[in-house]
Amino acid sequence: MYTVIRNYPAAPKLADELLKNKQSIETEIGSVQGFIAYYLIKTAEGATSVTVCENRAGCDESSKRAANWLTKNLPNLKVSPPQVMAGDVVFKFATYPTRV
């Protein structure tokens, strides 16, 4: 598995706008070949997204789609390019609540 984390600082409205467009984002990112999971975290300064895919190619594609989606769907929201961290998942465990 491979993960990409995109941090969008100085974008305080971004998480709320993405949440309003949840279905569109699920369709766009969820259709990436090898997609496993997507998480959006609302931070004090903006938002951070975490995408997990089977391989790097999937995460690279998700980053490309995310950038295109923002340009197309939120053109008036000024968002700087994200700070990106990515790498192979070397350890994982999870317990998911019934509702998020």
Does 95 map to a domain? no
**DSSP tally for the chain: helices H, then strands E:** 3, 4
CA distance 59 to 2: 7
* CATH code of the domain containing 41: 3.30.70.100
Does 67 map to a domain? yes
Does 99 map to a domain? no
Asked whether 31 and 51 are in contact (CB, 8 A), the reply is: no
Does 97 map to a domain? no
Per-residue pLDDT of the chain (100 residues; tens, 9 = 90+): 999 999 999 999 999 999 999 999 999 999 999 999 999 999 999 999 999 999 999 999 999 999 999 999 999 998 889 999 999 999 999 888 877 6
Domain count for the chain, please give it. 1
For 2, phi and psi rounded to 5 degrees?
Answer: -135, 145
At residue 100, the pLDDT reads 62
Does 96 map to a domain? no
Name the pTM for this structure.
0.90
Asked whether 55 and 34 are in contact (CB, 8 A), the reply is: yes
Range of the domain at 50: 2-88
Does 98 map to a domain? no
